[in-house]
Structure 1
């Protein structure tokens, strides 16, 4: 399965997210990142020194599993939150022209995703129900 048109539009209009990787000692690490969605995969990185960052070092150390969250808080009153959480597999650095210019990027292939409240509705009697999508194995 793939992302819905509504999810794709959301991901393309929200270029900031949080990426979690895992260090060789098992320590999770989450950082804010600029994220580009091409309709199938996510791209994180840019610049020539990005491979020295912890997120790139963690992937290079042999654990390609990542988690990515792209979300926003539309309003506190009424309470309106929406977002997409993605589990995926990151690949070795790739040189390309990306949203932050030419540089080295990590390509993330989604395996499972959960989205909630793409319509931007206020929360009701119960919390938002998530839409789960299996994109592949993982």
Structure 2
């Protein structure tokens, strides 16, 4: 399992929204905005939501347990500076677990990072 660097963890801690790409039943990628949380005990990324177990992304993960999460933003437009982290890995669709945040359902998508890429995080 790949490990997020301190710089990547620091950046992810400043962001609230990412995009999760899963494989749909027709074989095409499906991309959805998601909230995410770093699980320090396991070194994973956990994704929760309202009625997550009823979502297409949850079903996609059950059928094809691989996914990519991209978290990025524009730090500056003058000069142009984008930054972000891409996390690819094996995933689990878990049921009846403690939700990562109050108000979320008891289903969680858990990403076990296999490949991590980041850009624009170094301070100039």
TM-score interval for Structure 1 and Structure 2 normalised by the shorter chain: 0.7 to 0.9
Note the residue ranges of structure 2 that are not aligned, 5 or more in a row. none
Of the three residues 40, 43, 47, the one matched with 1:44 is 47
What is the CA RMSD across the aligned residues, in angstroms? 1.6
Secondary structure at the counterpart of residue 99 of structure 2? strand
Q: Which runs of 5+ in 1 are unaligned?
A: 122-138
Residue 14 of structure 1 is matched in structure 2 by: 15
Please state how far the C-alpha of 1:11 moved relative to its aligned partner. 1.2
Verify the 8 A CA contact 2:3 2:113 in the aligned structure 1.
no
Alpha-carbon deviation of 1:85? 0.6
TM score, norm. by length of structure 2: 0.86
SS of the equivalent of 1:88 reads: strand
- Count of equivalent residues: 119
Higher normalized contact order (CA 8 Å, seq sep 6+, divided by chain length): 2
- The aligned residue for residue 6 of structure 2 is 5
Larger Rg: 1
TM-score of the pair, normalised by structure 1 = 0.78
Deviant stretches of 4+, over 6 Å: none
Q: Which residue does the alignment assign to 2:112?
A: 109
